[in-house]
């Protein structure tokens, strides 16, 4: 499994997909289409944020101290208002501006054929799943000092593979593409 999208859509996480279906009143194909559209945008945002030491440290601290993996391990929490709030906080860190989140929902809506309004509601929940998948993959069980050092030492390689949205082995083309698109706005 090479990236976040694969981690979330893995058969092992069928209960996560089912919970999203129920929460947002979608069928499985629509749910998967929404996830496949939203996660690359979230991954690019994370790539952008972790391209400097401060951003990487901030993400690692959030993964170390947060309880994000619960969103993957306890899918019944996905419909909670606290999950939506946590997701909005995550989106604030990833995108910085609600306007970007709305733009992402609109673009995905056009490709996926799902209401932009629904995708705006779904985006914070999918953001929690992204952090949950990262947490589960990078930290696994409970944290300790050895794990913290291992997390710091291995974070670049693991994050690079997880954030490589086009799966070509490099995150730089993804980051450069995002920068070029933002310059053309």
pLDDT (0 to 100) of residue 62: 84
Indicate whether 151 pLDDT > 50. Answer: no
CA distance from start to end of the chain: 34
Extract the tokens encoding 167: 């799966």
pLDDT (0 to 100) of residue 77: 93
Summarize pLDDT for 98-143 with one digit per residue, the tens: 899 999 999 999 988 899 999 999 999 999 999 999 888 876 644 4
Extract the tokens encoding 155: 């974070």
Specify whether the CB–CB gap between 79 and 15 falls below 8 A. Answer: no
Greater model confidence, 174 or 76? 76
Summarize pLDDT for 43-91 with one digit per residue, the tens: 888 888 888 888 888 888 888 888 888 999 999 999 999 999 999 999 9
pLDDT (0 to 100) of residue 30: 95
Mean pLDDT lowest for which of 25-34, 105-114, 153-162? 153-162
* Locus of tokens 């999950």: 83
For residues 58 and 149, give the distance between their C-alpha atoms in angstroms, rounded to a whole number. Answer: 15
Indicate whether 171 pLDDT > 90. Answer: no
Extract the tokens encoding 143: 């944290």
Confidence of residue 165 (pLDDT cuts 50, 70, 90): low
Domain boundaries along the sequence of the chain: 4-177
Look up the pTM and report it: 0.75
């Amino acid at each position: 499994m090479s990236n976040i999208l694969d981690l979330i859509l893995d058969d092992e996480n069928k209960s996560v997909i089912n919970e999203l279906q129920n929460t947002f009143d979608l069928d499985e194909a629509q749910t998967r289409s929404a996830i496949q559209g939203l996660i690359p945008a979230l991954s690019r945002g994370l790539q952008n944020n972790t391209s400097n030491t401060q951003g990487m440290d901030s993400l690692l601290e959030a993964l170390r101290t947060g309880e994000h993996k619960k969103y993957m391990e306890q899918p019944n929490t996905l419909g909670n208002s606290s999950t939506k709030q946590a997701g909005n906080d995550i989106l604030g860190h990833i995108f910085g501006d609600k306007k970007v989140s709305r733009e992402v929902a609109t673009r995905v809506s056009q490709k996926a054929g799902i209401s932009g309004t629904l995708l705006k509601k779904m985006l914070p929940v999918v953001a929690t799943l992204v952090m949950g998948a990262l947490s589960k993959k990078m930290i696994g069980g409970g944290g300790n000092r050895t794990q913290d050092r291992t997390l710091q030492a291995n974070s670049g390689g693991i994050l690079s593979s997880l954030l490589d949205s086009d799966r070509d082995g490099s995150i730089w083309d993804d980051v450069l593409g995002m920068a070029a698109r933002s310059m053309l706005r």
